[in-house]
Amino acid sequence: MKTVTDPAILDAYLVDASNTRGSAEALVRPESTEEVAAIVRHCQAAGIPLTVTARRTSTTAAPIPDSGWLLSTEKLNVLHALDDAGAGIVLGDYQDQVEAAGMFFPPDPTSRNECSLGGAVACNASGARSYRYGPTRPWIRQVEVVLPDGTVMRVDRATPSPWPVPEWQEPKVKTAAGYFPATNFLDLLIGAEGTLGIITRVWTHLLPLPAHVLALFAFFPTRASMLEFLAEARAGRQDRSAPLQPRCLEYFDRRSLDLIRSRVPLTNADCALLIEVEHDGEPPLEAWFDALVRHGALVDDTIVADDDAGLARLHAIRHALPAAVNEIIARTGVRKVGTDFAVPDAALPEMLDRYDDTGMPAVCFGHIGDNHLHLNFLPTTPAEWKDAKDRYMALARRAVELGGTVSAEHGIGRLKRAHLEMMVGSAQVEAWRAMRRLADPRAILGRGVMV
């Protein structure tokens, strides 16, 4: 087993997208499942904490430990078959190869070109298309996993969990907070953030690639007009015969539009929606423009894309936003404070109002189809950072009171444990700790993550 201890190399593995810095004594980069198992057994025997690190796009410091060894999945990146890949493969590279063969793997976190397939499984990542297709979970058929004691297993939905899984009721919104209340082992591992096993290989469910996708970047003069339009666009979720059948509904507030001003038209918009619709060759433009006009959108400013190049341009705009936020955060050197809450439909207007009142520069954007928005505070001083943290916590409490979740997609990691406890209560956290103790009595794997 080759360990790397050179601080110059280790350093690059000790920071994630939250700008959290960590510490580790050694890095290992196994090339096979057998090597992973040998490393796990060594760490168990020696009592060395072991943290899985993939591409470190985590926003919650999940892959950033304060001590022990780091196990990078970067060399576990072989594509065995279209629906069977090493966990370390970059998700976007995997999807490009799948799509080149006319097939489709729906999960599309905005970070898909930077994050790994295994990271998306470990965090049950979502993306814009999750509005129609759900998060990563339903698209995973089987995984190969190395358990905390070094046992290698292939796990699917017929595999029972080796440990009793505490019951609990997840909030009835999109959520990635806490262990999934499953009795099958596959669903427990998905979203467990690398705390119950190291996923080395992933078998997926694929769909035929949608024939055509229409995208609309629509601008609204007021929030009220956007919300009215949103209600009509979302009606198709319950009624598949409704004329508007979006696969994603993404929101940009005015402050977000200002941040990407060089890429979008100069409008008087208060906010915008990026909408994608799959179709079989006849883009349903009339139905969408009809609804936009009826709800008072700034229709002349609408950007329409109905080919791959146009779609890629709009995705680049969408991606530019979190990337711009991360750049600002990295420049100022303070840690990112960003929400990942989802709330029930009825609570959306209240949360939007609360997201306006930040007292400092901020932007709000995200997956409004699921009432799941990212409010990113942009503090420039330690005092503003502290204020942002306090405001964040007040918003988290309110989201939970309204029946929502503290994390809809980014997970808990090391930074959001207190928020998880606030949401589920200390007895639930203690039940999960007890499960972890059964799985990993020396607390080797992912120490400090989730609970």
Ligand X SMILES: Cc1cc2nc3c(=O)[nH]c(=O)nc-3n(C[C@H](O)[C@H](O)[C@H](O)COP(=O)(O)OP(=O)(O)OC[C@H]3O[C@@H](n4cnc5c(N)ncnc54)[C@H](O)[C@@H]3O)c2cc1C
Q: Give contact residues for ligand X (rule: CB under 6 A).
A: 16-17, 51-59, 62-63, 73, 87, 109-111, 115-116, 118-120, 122-123, 125-127, 193-194, 198-199, 322-323, 326, 409-410, 446, 449
- What is the C-alpha separation between 26 and 16, in angstroms, rounded? 17
- Please calculate the CA angle 13-73-434 and round it to the nearest 5 degrees: 90
Smallest distance, ligand X to C-beta of residue 114, A: 7
- What is the C-alpha separation between 104 and 106, in angstroms, rounded? 6
- Closest to ligand X by CB, 95 or 126: 126
Smallest distance, ligand X to C-beta of residue 33, A: 11
- Closest to ligand X by CB, 224 or 312: 312
Smallest distance, ligand X to C-beta of residue 311, A: 17
Smallest distance, ligand X to C-beta of residue 345, A: 21
Contact in structure between 201 and 86 (CB atoms under 8 Å): yes
Residue number, nearest CB to ligand X: 119
Place of tokens 């539009």: 257
- What is the C-alpha separation between 435 and 361, in angstroms, rounded? 42
- Closest to ligand X by CB, 118 or 379: 118
- CB-based burial label for 426 (10 Å; 0-12, 13-18, 19+): exposed
- Closest to ligand X by CB, 80 or 294: 80
- What is the C-alpha separation between 70 and 250, in angstroms, rounded? 35
Smallest distance, ligand X to C-beta of residue 323, A: 6
Residues paired with residue 272 on neighbouring β-strands, in sequence order:
219, 252
Smallest distance, ligand X to C-beta of residue 64, A: 9
- CB-based burial label for 14 (10 Å; 0-12, 13-18, 19+): buried
Smallest distance, ligand X to C-beta of residue 389, A: 20
- Closest to ligand X by CB, 384 or 409: 409
- Closest to ligand X by CB, 223 or 372: 372
- Closest to ligand X by CB, 56 or 295: 56
Smallest distance, ligand X to C-beta of residue 227, A: 23
Place of tokens 């423009």: 289
- Closest to ligand X by CB, 125 or 298: 125
Helical (H) or strand (E) element with 291: helix 285-294
Long-range CB pairs of 372-377 (<8 Å, 24+ gap) are 372/173, 372/174, 372/340, 372/341, 372/342, 372/408, 372/409, 373/251, 373/339, 373/341, 374/322, 374/338, 374/339, 374/340, 375/338, 375/339, 376/322, 376/325, 376/336, 376/337, 376/338, 376/339, 377/337, 377/338
